[in-house]
Each structure stands twice: as C-alpha cells, then as structure tokens.
Amino acid sequence: MEKILNYIDGELRAPATDNWLDVMEPATATAYGQLSDSGVEDLELAVAAAGAAFPAWSQTPAEERGRMLRRLAQKIEAMSEPLALAESIDTGKPIAVTRKVDIPRAARNLHFFADAASQFASESHHMEAGAINYTLRMPLGVVACISPWNLPLYLLTWKIAPALAAGNCVIAKPSEITPVTAWLFSRLCQEAGLPPGVLNIIHGKGPGIGQAIVEHPAINAISFTGGSATGASIARTAAPEFKKLSLELGGKNPSIVFADADWESMMNGVVRAGYSNQGQICLCGSRVLVEASIYEKFRDEFVARVATLKIGDPLNEETEQGAIVSLPHRDKILDCIEQARQAGGNILTGGGASKPEADRCSEGWFVEPTVIDGLAADSACNQDEIFGPVVSLIPFADEEQALAIANGTRYGLAASVWSSDVSRCHRLAEQLQAGLIWVNTWMLRDLRTPMGGLKSSGVGREGGMEAMRFFTEPRNVCIKYR
C-alpha cells in the first residue's frame, strides 16, 4: 500500500511517531494507502525549516517567486491526467469533473498568483504639510494553510499560491480524508526545485496536528477552509494569540428563481448549483426559492431532471454523480434526509443510499440525488448545511418574501438570482446577505474578485489582491520633508 509522506524541508519524510492512518476510496469503501499521522515533532521540524527559509524567500525578487509558481503550475499541467485520476479515486468525484475543473483550476491558481506577485503594489499618500506616507507590505513570516476534502488540490493551491507569492513560508495541512493530490504535489515541488522549507506539507488529523498548527506560537496567520464549527474552534484558539485569520466556512446558499428567468439556462444552472460534486461544495445552492406562480411547473421539471442524473463509478467518463467523500459524511447526509422526512417534508425524488451499477462500487458510499419540498423556511433542512446532494424547494410570493427567506439563515456565503429584470437583480444584489452573488449564472469565478462570506460563513476574503493583502502586514512610513 502506498505511503503518503510529509514534505518537510524539501524532503519526503515518514512521521516521527511512525503512526499511520488508512486512506479510503469512497467509491469502493476500501483502503488504498496509508497516511502520515503527524505529531508535534514533525511540526517542529517543519516550523524550523520554514523559519530558516523565510529570510531568503522573502528577499527573493517577486518576479523570481512568480517564476517558481509558474513552474509549479506547468508541472501540474504536465501531470494533469494522473492528478485527475488520483483526485477521483481519493474524493469519489466524477473524473469528467476532476479533468475539466479541479486540476486545470489548481494550475490556474498558481498561474494567477505568479502574475500577482509582480503586480502587487502598495500605496503612497502625500500630505500638504510637507510629508509623504508610504506603506510597506511585508510578508508575515511562517503561515498555515489548512484545507478541506471537497476540492483538495484546488483549495490547497488557492491558499498556498498567494502566501508564497507574497514572500511567506508555509505549513500546509490538507484534509486527512483526501490527501493524495497534495502528496503528488509535494513531489512536483521537489522536481520544480522549490527551495527547501518554503512550503511544508504535513498530514494528519484535524484535532491532532491541525490543532497543534493553530496553537504554534511561530505561526503568524491561518488561512482555513472547512466547516463553521471547526472555524469557530480555530478562531477561539487563535484570537488570544492575535493571529491573523481568514476563515472560509459553510453555506446554505439560496438559488432564487423568478418567473421571468430564461427557463433553459436557469434550469441547467440551478441543477448544477444543487448537485455538482454531489452537493459537496460550499457554494452549492441547496435551497431553491421559486416564485409561486411557476412553482408546480418548476418543481416537476426540476425533479425530472434530477432523477435522471447518472450515478456511477467516478472513474467512468459518463458519470454525473459520484460517491460521497466518507462513510460518516454519507451517514450524516442520510440522517438529515430522515429528519426532513420526519419533519413532514415530501421526498420528491431520491431519499436514500444508492448502489451504482459497477460491481467495483457495490460497497461504495453513494446517495441518490434528492429533492424535498413542503418544509418551512426555518426547518432544520432549510437552515443547516447538509453538504450533500439534497436540495429543498421553497415557494415565495414576492421579492420581499424571497429576500427574507434568503437572508433568514445564520450563513451568508453565496446566492444566485435568476431573473431577466435587471433592476430587480441589482436591488437584490444590494440586499442579499452574501459575500458572493451570481445573477443568471453560478460558480463563474474571476480570480481577481474577493471570495468569502458573511455571518457564520466566515471572516476575511480570499482571491486576487485581497489574498495578497491578507498574507502581508502593512507598515506605514511617514517622511516629513519640509
């Protein structure tokens, strides 16, 4: 069985304790690798290596740091097929998606921040009294990037690229559930000649090594994507130490459908928003709010389309719905569906575990794409993040009610509005409590724009120059010349 090692100080190393965790393939429910279950000794080595690498890396010209990121992007591109296959095995995600989305976008993150390294600028302010202020943007030092299992290589690169571009050295901790692409990436870093210690990738459990990373006094900032409960716990640990935090957490995002929406593109968009990656994307639209005048028509066509989504072996090119990432997560999703049923919800399609046709997958963790209606907007199913292929339909009478329902959760990550009334779209965009608002589209991302949420969806923004700013500290210099 393949052993997934830590990447510390430029070397691939087994954990000091020699403790290992099984890595499971969700589609077959079998273990196919062993993962370093790292401890504090490994962390100390990584922090020392990062600290030692920092002076040279932070003094390396930005163009050169950018060139290094571009080399990493090109390595990913050259390895895209094996990486896509590894990510499908690791996550249960259909290979068509890992090929088209996850791996190319991971390379794009590195290309984007390769450019950003040389474009990052600071401000200068002239005072009439005869003084100039200029702002130095200094890298923070050693920073941590903790990433989840739903888009493993994409979110790892999304975090480490701006951190490295800005001149920091990084301790990255990928999710213990899906560590394989990070492991392959650490080998690409070696091939690309990334200086030892600049990036260190440590594997292991969240409450173990993850917590130790957050607590470590030499780590100045934490960029985290994951669940809101974990984010809150990280904030509690980091706040008394005044560490800089960027938390990108959960969502319960509304797709708001008006009668005047372009039917075909709306239908395609709302199905995609609900079920991409089996609903395991923080930006998925899991509540679909539909104008009452078209409710029945919408419901019938939506259910018909969802019922024909092809569940199958993630390694089959035709598969649209793959496996759920882990057994506990599969069971959590099934529990949520059961609670919705008991609360009086109508299960319009799906509602249970599924067995795809491929023999290989007979023991895998699959859930039927599920549509529910008949539940109050404040029911658990419409309030809590399920993070699975479960969409709840809610009719609304008018724009005011749509807005009240859309904003009526503790989350505020994303929303999509489907309507051909331009004024209404702008009105809603202004009033929706969400960090990302799409109009007549979903998941279209320009990497220059800020990404992140309000309320329990987190604090801080990632993306573009926001991310570069997060990974630097401003120092103002005021010069009196008269």
Which residues make up the interface to ligand TXE (CB under 6 A)?
146-150, 173, 175-176, 206-207, 210-211, 214, 225-227, 230, 233-234, 248-250, 282, 385, 387
State the catalytic residue, choosing from 145, 169, 189, 282.
282
Closest CA relative to residue 177, chosen from 280, 250, 91: 91
Q: How far apart are CA 72 and CA 142, in angstroms?
A: 20
Question: What φ, ψ does residue 382 adopt, rounded to 5°?
Answer: -95, 0
What would the DSSP string read from start to end of 64-127?
HHHHHHHHHHHHHHHTHHHHHHHHHHHH---HHHIIIIIHHHHHHHHHHHHHHHHH----EEEE
- Between residues 320 and 462, which has the closer beta carbon with respect to ligand TXE? 462
Q: The tokens of 357 are what?
A: 């046709």
- Between residues 115 and 215, which has the closer beta carbon with respect to ligand TXE? 215
Q: Is 366 helix (H, G, I), strand (E, B) or coil?
A: strand
Q: How far is the CB of 32 from ligand TXE (least distance, A)?
A: 19
- Give the contacts of 55 (CB within 8 A, at least 6 positions apart): none
- Residue showing tokens 């091939």: 191
What interhelical angle do 80-91 and 152-165 show, nearest 10? Answer: 120
- Between residues 149 and 302, which has the closer beta carbon with respect to ligand TXE? 149
Q: How far is the CB of 173 from ligand TXE (least distance, A)?
A: 5
Closest CA relative to residue 324, chosen from 348, 288, 354, 283: 354
Asked if 282 is an active-site residue, the reply is: yes
- Give the contacts of 174 (CB within 8 A, at least 6 positions apart): 147, 152, 156, 181, 182, 201, 203
Q: How far is the CB of 389 from ligand TXE (least distance, A)?
A: 13
Q: Is 333 helix (H, G, I), strand (E, B) or coil?
A: helix
Q: How far is the CB of 88 from ligand TXE (least distance, A)?
A: 18
Q: How far is the CB of 439 from ligand TXE (least distance, A)?
A: 22
Beta strand pairing status for 458-459 and 244-248? antiparallel
Q: How far apart are CA 376 and CA 380, in angstroms?
A: 9
Q: How far is the CB of 176 from ligand TXE (least distance, A)?
A: 5
State the catalytic residue, choosing from 87, 176, 248, 291.
248
Asked if 169 is an active-site residue, the reply is: no
- Between residues 181 and 225, which has the closer beta carbon with respect to ligand TXE? 225
Q: How far is the CB of 244 from ligand TXE (least distance, A)?
A: 15
* Residue 278 zone, left/alpha/beta (φ > 0; ψ -120 to 50; rest): left
Quick one: CA dihedral 378, 278, 162, 169, positive or negative?
A: positive
What's the per-residue H, E or C state across 93-104? CCHHHHHHHHHH
- Between residues 82 and 207, which has the closer beta carbon with respect to ligand TXE? 207
- Between residues 238 and 402, which has the closer beta carbon with respect to ligand TXE? 238
Question: How many Å from the N-terminal Cα to the C-terminal Cα in the chain?
Answer: 71
- Between residues 164 and 249, which has the closer beta carbon with respect to ligand TXE? 249
Q: How far is the CB of 207 from ligand TXE (least distance, A)?
A: 5
- Between residues 56 and 218, which has the closer beta carbon with respect to ligand TXE? 218
Catalytic (active-site) positions: 248, 282
